[in-house]
Amino acid sequence: MKYIVAIIQPHKLDEVMKALEEAEVNLLTVSNVLGRGRQKGVTEVYRGAREVGSLLKKVKIEIAVNEDFVEPTINAITTAARTGEIGDGKIFITDLAEVIRIRTGERGGLAIG
């Protein structure tokens, strides 16, 4: 089992969700986050006071999948989220030790989908 965390451009969320659905990955958690990468954020100005390096709005997607779904998930996200411009985001993948469905108490691969 893997835990996939993707940081993407906010306006790409709908396309990514559609691509994931086509790959039969339906379960995900989404949150609004702030961040910056190599583009070093943006500059904001408040009453003449400049603030360089402000954080940009991003969307974080978290998905837990069984091994068979790892590559389809990565493909779906990269294809749908890519604009080719700087700031498209990243995908992080870690091993997942355990999953438990609260309602039934099922564990592991059974609980994940």
Partner 1 sequence: MNSGDTAWVLICTALVFLMTVPGLALFYGGLVRRKNVLSILMQCFIIMCVILLQWVLFGYSLAFGPDTGAGIIGGLDWAGLRHVGGPVNADYAATIPHSAFMIFQAMFAVITPALIIGAFAERMKFSSFLVFTVLWATLVYDPLAHWVWGTGGWLRKLGALDFAGGIVVHTSSGISALVMCLLLGRRIGYQNAPFRPHNLPFTVTGGALLWFGWFGFNAGSALAANELAANAFVTTAVATAAAGLTWALIEWQQHGAPTVLGTTTGVVAGLVAVTPACGFVNPMNAIFIGILAALVCYLAVAVVKAKLGYDDALDAFGVHGVGGLWGTLATGLFAETAVNGAGADGLFFGNLHQFLVQVGLVIIVPLFAGVMTWFLFKFVDALMGMRAEKRAEIIGLDLTQQSEAAYTVIE
The residue within the footprint of partner 1, chosen from 31, 38, 50, 98 (CB under 8 A), is: 50
Between the CA of residue 108 and those of 3, 65, 95, what are the distances in Å? 13, 10, 12
Longest dimension (CA), the chain: 57
Interface with partner 1, residue 44, by CB under 8 A: yes
Q: Does 32 bind partner 1 (CB under 8 A)?
A: no
| Stretch near partner 1 under the rule CB under 8 A, chosen from 5-13, 16-24, 43-51, 104-112 | 43-51
Please check whether residue 78 is in contact with residue 19, taking contact to mean a CB–CB distance below 8 angstroms. Answer: no
Count residues binding partner 1 (CB under 8 A). 9
Residue 103 binds partner 1, judged by CB under 8 A = no
Contact 27, 64 (CB under 8 A): yes
Interface residues with partner 1 (CB under 8 A) are 44-51, 54
